[in-house]
Chains A and B, each alone.
Chain A
């Protein structure tokens, strides 16, 4: 094979330098994505047994915000989903600050464990944690939920093993880890069925991946869908639109 001439070498160098510059730009952009905000912002967590006009059964799900808030935000997530973690760190604190605490929006946490068997393990424990804390210390649910996203690592690795999840639960104020453990061993089949029903319903809303959200104005019976960890401004616009319908 002929050796490349100097012009070809120059073009190769330009292509190489261009690739490095473009790659560096994307890597730099990605490194600036995570907000410095932590998920420490919170609002009161409540229990409800109603079924909303959209057909979502609130029984079994933690609800953050005033139960009288006019807008429901159904939030489907998977504890192994890195994009959900992105939402939790970036848009969610601002949503809590500006819309949940003000009484406009209530957030309904729904599990959508689609990233492997460990996701289902975490989802079952999530339901058990909620069962255990909902009457005595519902705010402990938020501590559990946000801690799991803070501790998220690579998918289906040691961090999401049953043992490690119990360990995390035992270190959170208000959670009785042994009660959670016994709930998981006794009720796992029932809870899995209930989660499967939630996932079927999410599929009917056209949801296939997480994080996914449906904003629902209960009085006007109007809804809108947001998919993925979009910027806070997109949620803000969607809330305003659903509120004004």
Chain B
């Protein structure tokens, strides 16, 4: 990737980051998406515990979130927890972005969706903790991963950054000098 291209991607990434701030509705959608993402990510770090707690009484939901936040901090450290928070925030931005694209051009025409959905799934799985790996039959796998899974979390985060850098602000098309118009 040459320097002007990198610069263009950086500009589009910044435009994507700023997009939820353009209306109050988008901001609410973004914050809501980020909060739901965070809750899902943290609960998925120990799924069986989360399911038992919440199914016993929905009132235990806040306990489970706080307990598993503390557990994520203790196992993955401040960097690991920071990556989970960053991933949740970027997911909120991406959800707002995708919702706007769908609203404008419809699901069929929204080319960005084809990269958003696999991006969400891959990044979500990359950001998960020991619990979901254990749930899938890989107990202890996270302990064997480099930097206690933080490298995997960085990978997930990069996927989302790549997605946002590709789509930018969904209200505008980007004019690329050599190849015409790209959505």
CB contact under 8 A between A228 and B52, given known A22-B35, A33-B70, A154-B77: yes
B106 CB–A CB distance under 8 Å? no
Q: Does B66 contact A (CB under 8 A)?
A: yes
Contacts of B70 in A (CB 8 A): 30, 33, 82, 86
Whether B11 contacts A15 by the Cβ 8 Å rule is no
- Of the A-B pairs whose beta carbons lie under 8 Å apart in the complex, a sample of 14, sorted by A's number, is A14-B27, A30-B66, A33-B66, A114-B140, A114-B143, A115-B140, A115-B143, A116-B143, A155-B148, A208-B134, A209-B130, A226-B52, A229-B49, A237-B56
Instruction: Produce 1/0 per residue, B135-151, CB < 8 A to A.
Output: 10101100110001000
Chain B interface residue count, Cβ-Cβ cutoff 8 angstroms: 43
CB pair B65–A114 under 8 Å, yes or no, is no
- Which residues of chain B are near A15, meaning CB under 8 Å? 20-21, 27, 30-31
Q: What residue in chain B is nearest A32 (Cβ atoms)?
A: B66
B22 CB–A CB distance under 8 Å: yes
Determine how close the nearest CB of chain B comes to the CB of A131; give it in whole angstroms: 25
Bound complex: CA A115 to CA B148 (Å): 10
- The interface of chain A, by Cβ under 8 A from chain B, is 1, 4, 8, 11-12, 14-15, 18-19, 22-23, 26, 29-30, 33, 82-83, 86, 114-116, 119, 154-156, 203, 206, 208-209, 226-231, 234, 237
CA distance A124 to B6 in the complex (A): 53
> Could you tell me the distance in whole angstroms from the C-beta of B33 to the nearest C-beta in chain A?
12
B63 / chain A contacts, CB cutoff of 8 Å = 231
A8-B18, A30-B73, A116-B143 in contact; A228/B65 too (CB < 8 A)? no
Chain B residue, CB-CB nearest to A81 = B75
